[in-house]
Amino acid sequence: MDLLGVLLWLCLPARWMAGAVTMTRKVTLVQRSLQNIVGSSPKIEVKSFENWAESLKEDVVFTASPKSVREIQRIVFAALLCRKNVRVVGSTHSWSSLFTDSEQIQINLGNMTLEGGKRVILQPGEYPGYRTVRIAPGVTVGELNDLIVPLGFTLRSGPSIKEATVLGAIATSSHGAMVNEPAIGGYMTGARFVDGWGKILAFNEDTDPEVLKALRCNLGLLGVVFEFELKIFPQEQVNSCGILTPLKTLFNPEFLRNAVSKNNFVLILSASYSSLTEKEARSVLETGKVPTTWDSGNDIVLINIVDPDATPDSLNTSDDPLPEDVTVVSTGQEFYKFIKGFPRALKGINLTDAIYLDTAVLGPKFLASEYTFPEKTDFKRSANALKEFSRFMNEKSHTEGILPFTRFVARWVKGTDCFLCPTSNPTSLKVAGDAGHFTTLGMDGVIDTLQEGPGFSYTMHKLVEAWDNLGLEGTLHWGKITEVTNFKEKIKTYFRHDLGFFENIRRKIDPHGVFMNDYLSYLYDAFNNVN
């Protein structure tokens, strides 16, 4: 048997080698085979994997940290020969199973740079209202802003977690709360990457608009991006205001319409159970159930608006006194302190400082999920969804006890020119009066909660069912997929023919599925069976 034959035999799946070697020995043999194909650099190591939230774990993965494009090519070629999947790992802030599998090859691109060792390079040429930058693959949202703010620019819309890599945020269609801005992938204008054959490809939005629509939410399926180009915008001076009001204020669609349509940025945050009285809290501790006297509509929400003309009086809200504290039965106790202490008015600050949160305020590691649906100009869909959320909280809390939700997050964003972005304006769900904007409703939950009832994923699944029953027909954030049993059918209904357009591009770039993983393979029934 020649060398290539030996390498291929050593890389055979475990089920083909049953009885030949132990699992530990098999992993060692595969590691050596991968290293022999890759060469001396980068090192192929065997490690365990755990995501940031400690909610996803794998005992065995092969890892590599390439420093050059050539090293990436060798890794992909080795994976192709050894029938291993390759997934790029960023800051591991994804809560879903998109980016991890046992015995896959995980590539960390944190060591990659552009020419001259630079991480970000401002491109020549000015365009109406923006410039572009070339970015190395491991750059985080916080790092990008740190590098472009001194140059007088900002990233208008990105995830609030600054530690997230920009590429990871693009891959999952992450977004901020700028009302008239798309998901972060909507700013991508070009990319260079290694495909499933180990070849270098390059695309830009002028000559390859369909490929860019796929790249703007690629789920890691379109190769290893080692350089990309993004739009950035001139820095702005804005006012930031924090307005506190009961959740039930948001049940009025006219209030929502005024808040969202008259401001550039609207972020709504609420700590669960903030309106529980001490008497009601004692009842929870004694009975395990929340008394029926409690109404989640009285929970306090923070409405953070950002705009050059924003003032604390921009919105007509209640002047009722706020609860002094949150009781110990609430997992949102610490977050409520942040809400109460949020500045009422900051004038003339940089947009960057106004729209990105300090991650520390989010507290300890948590679980997260997010539901997205198209909005009409009258905002009745948003108001109904918020009212249903309150009804759900009341019913479940009264019968099951404290739910595993720490906080609630609501945002509104513009549609994105993209195949798989939840904010991609799916043709199957266009509604009369659609303004090309979307509502995103998110729930966060601590991993170790005080209650002994149903867990976060199950409770979120039931909440999604309740929202679906309103006819919203939304979908979930790719990086925050919980155990929704009908998710495969949900994406098939939501994205329809865009799934087929994306799949046609993926097959050309990665015909052998080098960049696939088990969970995406499961979902791919929806991609391959679109009516």
The string of DSSP codes covering 278-323 is: HHHHHHHHHHSS--TT--GGGSEEEEEEEETT--TTSS----PPPP
Confidence of residue 420 (pLDDT cuts 50, 70, 90): very high
Burial group, residue 531, by CB count within 10 angstroms (0-12, 13-18, 19+): exposed
DSSP codes of every residue in 47-106? EEEE-TTS--EEEEEEEE--SSHHHHHHHHHHHHHTT--EEEESS----SGGG--TTPEE
The pLDDT assigned to 7 comes to 52
Contact 274, 299 (CB under 8 A): yes
Specify which of 49-58, 242-251, 455-464 reaches the highest per-range mean pLDDT. Answer: 242-251
Dihedral angle over CA of 266, 397, 374, 494, nearest 10: 140
**Beta-carbon neighbour count of residue 485 at 10 Å?**
10
The pLDDT assigned to 192 comes to 98
The pLDDT assigned to 325 comes to 64
**Lowest pLDDT segment from 39-43, 54-58, 60-64:** 54-58
Tell me the C-alpha to C-alpha distance, in Å, between residue 305 and each of 28, 248, 308, 363, 455: 55, 18, 10, 22, 32
Is pLDDT at 15 greater than 60 in this prediction? no
Contact 411, 177 (CB under 8 A): yes
Is pLDDT at 445 greater than 50 in this prediction? yes
Among residues 418, 423, 337, the alpha carbon closest in space to that of 375 is found at: 423
Classify 178 as helix, strand or coil.
Answer: strand
Domain ranges for the chain: 3-108, 115-235, 237-486
Is pLDDT at 312 greater than 70 in this prediction? yes
Helices (H), 364-511: 380-400, 456-468, 487-495, 497-509
Percent of the chain predicted with pLDDT > 90: 61
Is pLDDT at 520 greater than 90 in this prediction? no
CA–CA dist 247, 408 (Å, integer)? 10
Confidence of residue 16 (pLDDT cuts 50, 70, 90): very low
CA–CA dist 389, 212 (Å, integer)? 36
* 425 or 416, greater pLDDT: 416
The pLDDT assigned to 430 comes to 47
Among residues 338, 324, 341, the alpha carbon closest in space to that of 281 is found at: 324
Burial group, residue 471, by CB count within 10 angstroms (0-12, 13-18, 19+): exposed
- One-letter amino acid of 327: T
The pLDDT assigned to 166 comes to 95
Name the percent of the chain in helix, strand, coil, to the closest 5: 35, 25, 40
Bridge partner list, 89: 108
Confidence of residue 6 (pLDDT cuts 50, 70, 90): very low
* 428 or 267, greater pLDDT: 267
Burial group, residue 120, by CB count within 10 angstroms (0-12, 13-18, 19+): buried
Specify which of 95-99, 295-299, 322-326 reaches the highest per-range mean pLDDT. Answer: 295-299
Contact 107, 117 (CB under 8 A): no
CA–CA dist 157, 177 (Å, integer)? 7
Average confidence (pLDDT) over 8-37: 71
* 21 or 18, greater pLDDT: 21
Residue showing tokens 């180009």:
229
Helices (H), 364-438: 380-400
Listed in sequence order, the residues at least 6 apart from 308 whose beta carbon sits closer than 8 Å to its beta carbon are 236, 237, 238, 239, 264
Among residues 478, 491, 502, 520, the alpha carbon closest in space to that of 429 is found at: 491
200 φ/ψ angles, rounded to the nearest 5 degrees = -95, 130
Q: What is the mean pLDDT of the chain?
A: 87
Among residues 449, 357, 343, the alpha carbon closest in space to that of 400 is found at: 449
Average confidence (pLDDT) over 355-365: 76
In this predicted model, what pLDDT tens digit does every residue of 362-398 receive, in sequence order?
Answer: 776 788 899 999 998 899 999 999 999 999 999 999 9
CATH code for residues 3-108: 3.30.43.10
Average confidence (pLDDT) over 416-422: 93
The pLDDT assigned to 214 comes to 97
Confidence of residue 92 (pLDDT cuts 50, 70, 90): low
Is pLDDT at 278 greater than 90 in this prediction? no
Tell me the C-alpha to C-alpha distance, in Å, between residue 475 and each of 272, 445, 467: 23, 19, 10
The pLDDT assigned to 431 comes to 47
Is pLDDT at 446 greater than 90 in this prediction? no
Prediction pTM value:
0.90
Cis omega (within 30 of 0) for bond into 253: no
Listed in sequence order, the residues at least 6 apart from 16 whose beta carbon sits closer than 8 Å to its beta carbon are none
Name the architecture of domain 237-486.
2-Layer Sandwich (3.30)
Name the architecture of domain 115-235.
2-Layer Sandwich (3.30)
CA–CA dist 315, 307 (Å, integer)? 13
The pLDDT assigned to 432 comes to 43
CA–CA dist 136, 382 (Å, integer)? 38
Percent of the chain predicted with pLDDT > 70: 87
**Beta-carbon neighbour count of residue 448 at 10 Å?**
8
Rounded (5°) CA angle 191-192-195: 120
DSSP state of 454: S
CA–CA dist 179, 262 (Å, integer)? 10
Residue showing tokens 């009908």:
486
